[in-house]
A = this chain, B = another copy of it.
């Protein structure tokens, strides 16, 4: 099943697909060489948007929470990738402490945790779950939709180590993106591997920093393929101090949105794209889709009511939304039935282990699909991202499109590797 691309202009993306397929050995070699120099994040998921004329990542998640959406047939790939990941980090490991996001009680999220337990158990580790909730005083079972249970246990912190009762792990795998702040219990764990590292959490991370690295990666990759990096890179700008409460507080956002819209319109003209350019205004930190607004014209930013409806207001301004990223909007023109579809690529270590489509019938092509909604669904990629079929007409083959998605997903993962190196607080000690 390949979703329909319902746009008149599919030439650029089909050309990109053809170029990526014919350059496959060069691309894979390029990734191999990059991974010799840079360490991939432990696990990653990347939201992509395919506009037909452009394919770009719009969000790179370093604490992926959607493993339950992968096709069961893809699980062996995840297990094998997990084996490779563990072997590099802590081959003598017996125990893995998985620390999920303890704030969410979403059954879907619990299924994701269950899937992670399954993957790492089958990779050969004793996996137990520790809760960041200080109120959790004894092992507590959480019920899953399938009738099974997950047991969360209180964390036990000694001077240098974190564990559970009778459970001393070599590695701690964090699945909480720290958007609620950094729990002291996770600090100064110098005797164990804490993965991803704390600076991959939203207390330190900024989307604008990530997309700065992504631009660098996209330029390198575009040079390798001899193409315009804009075809895979969403332009962006950033405002570090936005005061939503004052009349001039949005000046920086307005100015950047204007500049970005002009740049995008110029690109649309260059490629003969008959779409209305737009930008997305969003928090520079992770907020799970909150404070995300589509801006087609800078006048949109004067509409206080509309801003408030998107969670952008003085009330929130003091916290999450004082830092803002303005990003070129990439329309999604993939459809499954009546619903817009957005591909998500999932990776463990440097390997693409699968992907799925996030679909949303209630949203338009220029809105975020990462939002609750009645018609919200997740459809696993029906075929592997690793078995392209060279020779098939561009745009006609699901495996070829998925391979291309896997390549762009890995570019965003590589950008995250660059980003984490640049933001590592302990970087000096490596030199």
Contact = CB atoms under 8 A, between A and B. Distances in A.
A124 B24 contact: yes
Interface in A71-86: 73-77, 79-81, 83-84, 86
A77 B352 CA distance: 11
B386 A29 contact: no
Interface stretch (A31-39, A55-63, A175-183, A321-329): A31-39
B25 A79 contact: no
Nearest to A30: B124
A305 interface: no
A74 B79 CA distance: 13
Nearest to A87: B32
Contacts of A75: 384, 386-387
Given A27-B124, A80-B351, A124-B25, A32 B91 contact: yes
Contacts of A351: 80, 83
A93 interface: yes
A212 interface: no
B384 A32 contact: no
A92 interface: yes
Contact of A121 (B24, B31, B33, B77): B24
The binding surface of chain A is classed by DSSP as helix
B124 A36 contact: no
A121 B351 CA distance: 16
**Interface core residue of A80, A91, A351, A385 (most chain B CB under 10 Å):** A80
A387 B79 contact: yes
A83 B28 contact: yes
A122 B387 contact: yes
A388 interface: yes
A125 interface: yes
Interface string A104-130: 000000000000000001111110000
Interface residues of A, number: 39
A386 B32 contact: no
Contacts of A74: 76
A294 B26 CA distance: 52
A80 B81 contact: yes
A94 interface: yes
Contact of A29 (B79, B84, B94): B94
B124 A94 contact: no
Contact of A94 (B25, B80, B94): B25
Interface string A123-156: 1111000000000000000000000000000000
Interface in A276-319: none
A122 B76 contact: no
Contacts of A31: 124
A362 to B, nearest CB: 34
B83 A126 contact: no
B386 A121 contact: no
A92 B33 contact: yes
A38 to B, nearest CB: 13
Given A76-B77, A79-B386, A91-B36, A25 B84 contact: no
A87 B350 CA distance: 11
A127 to B, nearest CB: 9
Nearest to A349: B84
Contacts of A80: 77, 80-81, 351, 386
Contacts of A123: 28
A33 B124 CA distance: 12
Given A25-B126, A76-B384, A122-B388, 9 more contacts: A24-B124, A28-B83, A28-B123, A29-B92, A31-B124, A32-B86, A76-B77, A80-B351, A83-B351
10 contacts: A24-B121, A25-B125, A33-B92, A73-B73, A76-B385, A76-B387, A79-B386, A79-B387, A80-B80, A80-B351
Interface of A: 24-29, 31-33, 35-36, 73-77, 79-81, 83-84, 86-87, 91-94, 121-126, 351, 384-388
